[in-house]
Amino acid sequence: MPLLYGVNHAPCRGNRATSFALLCSCLAISSCFVSSVSMPSPVVITVDQSGNGDHRTIQDAIDAAPANDSAAVVIRIRPGVYREKVVVDKPNVTLTGTSASSTVITWNESWVSDQSPTVSLLASDFVAKRLTFQNTFGNTAPAVAVRVAGDRVAFYGCRFVSFQDTLLDERGRHYYRGCYVQGATDFIFGNGRALFDKCHLHSTSPAGAGGAFTAQQRSSESEDTGYSFVGCKLTGLGAGTSILGRPWGPYSRVVFALTYMSSTVRPQGWDDWGDPSKQRTVFYGQYQCYGDGSKTDGRVAWSRDLTQAEAAPFITKAWVDGQQWLR
């Protein structure tokens, strides 16, 4: 059985340092994929807006990459603001920037179809490092910055910025480490199986606007999907402006563990989205969280304050089968 974060039976506050030390050791993983077969050297492509690379746009670089399952492609993106839509429909592609603050992929479009997001990830074995993905449409309609619809997808040190529906974690197994996600309403949503490790979630929802960090879509008890947030940080613009989540699907599943919750989180924690029947089927829980917004005495009665045993399946890389494809 894999190690657990915070393996102890004492209250959270007194053992938080031990919990985080174990968390660090359990999830200290790099961006490489494991393979039992010797892989050829990756194809390296450079994108530079000034013309001092192989291509001026990211999409041109992806289009030029070989569509071969065994050929890894590394696309190095030099600093700049790349105003373009990007679709990754080839496996084994890595996009890497110099820093998330200096390498930005941006578009301005509301979410009206699958082609609307700034970046759409449709293929398996994708990695992104040190990039910002944003949609600048504004606060009048949903606007997706990234749609993740491939399997075995990992992000490291990336930023996702929009207002409503920022990150569509649609389907597949996904891992986010050290990332920043910003939005106001349902800004992490979809039906993927995702682990967010040491990420910062920032709500820009104003008071009274009904902000929600998540809207997970699991539609049946048999679906092995859901979102787990481990060692993360939740902040916002003011006190009581956002809930942790609401159910897009009747069996929606979200867990927060060892996570700092500021006063931005409303005491109730969760909402049934106007359908009381979902209270019996959703799985919403937290484990050894801390901060003003983490107090469980005000939570809705149908949420869960998880025990160590209940939290165990969600708080290691095994939640996304990471032992098979992450190392």
Q: List, by residue number, the catalytic residues.
A: 186
Report CA torsion sign: 216, 220, 221, 223.
Answer: negative
The structure tokens listed for 74 are 């590394």
Q: Using an 8 Å Cβ cutoff, are 87 and 57 in contact?
A: no
Give the whole-angstrom CA distance, residue 3 versus residue 18.
13
